[in-house]
Chains A and B, each alone.
Chain A
Amino acid sequence: QQQVKQSPQSLIVQKGGISIINCAYENTAFDYFPWYQQFPGKGPALLIAIRPDVSEKKEGRFTISFNKSAKQFSLHIMDSQPGDSATYFCAASLRTDKLIFGTGTRLQVFP
């Protein structure tokens, strides 16, 4: 019940395209859903986060869509750029409790 399932495992997108990564969770008590971006050899960097009382949040080219009834949330990267090539992790937590991470999606954006 503590798992967060993430798909796809890898994603190849052309420059200017839309990258979409999906996550599903089981524990309905989760109340905080962040997305992290990680480059090789670096720690995860917080990209954007959402709470379950909001269905969508947008920050620049990054948008989180949240479907509480389906227990799913997704990250959309608009106008994807080669610099966006990284591994993306979704996560879920109970307030300041531990973060439960998905398995990651390796995104490659080709020019």
Chain B
Amino acid sequence: DAGVTQSPTHLIKTRGQHVTLRCSPISGHKSVSWYQQVLGQGPQFIFQYYEKEERGRGNFPDRFSARQFPNYSSELNVNALLLGDSALYLCASRQGASTEAFFGQGTRLTVV
């Protein structure tokens, strides 16, 4: 059974550009969350979606947005990229009410 898959694995963007990151949850999981992990720190919560509705938002600017599709996959969009957006972006899926969160391997975003 496939785990959480994220694409792309690595990405290099220029300041001011836009980026879209993708996540496919574990089959049967309806909840997807996004986290940002800066080098040397713990992951920071960005968004949570359940059944295509936003259920939580972390302390990130409006340049960050996300959505969840009918097949429960998700996209994270970041506009007007800043150097400080360089990080590992992690997607986690949960099976509805279960609290166990399973993470993908992440997308390494580098902004130059």
Q: Residues of A at under 8 Å CB distance from B?
A: 6, 32, 34, 36, 41-46, 49, 89, 91, 93, 95-104
Nearest 4 Cβ contacts at the A-B interface:
A101-B42, A43-B103, A98-B45, A43-B105
Chain B, interface size category, equals 20 to 34
- Among the listed stretches B13-21, B61-69, B76-84, B94-102, which one makes contact with chain A, having 4 or more residues with CB under 8 Å of it? B94-102
Interface of A is mostly: strand
Residue numbers in B under 8 Å from A98 (CB-CB): 33, 45, 48, 56, 58
Given A96-B97, A98-B56, A43 and B90 contact (CB-CB distance below 8 Å): yes
Residue numbers in B under 8 Å from A46 (CB-CB): 100-103
Residue numbers in B under 8 Å from A93 (CB-CB): 99
Name B98-112 residues within 8 Å CB distance of A: 98-106, 108
Pull 14 A–B residue pairs with CB atoms less than 8 Å apart, ordered by A: A6-B42, A34-B99, A34-B101, A41-B105, A43-B4, A46-B102, A49-B99, A89-B43, A96-B50, A96-B55, A96-B98, A97-B56, A101-B43, A103-B42
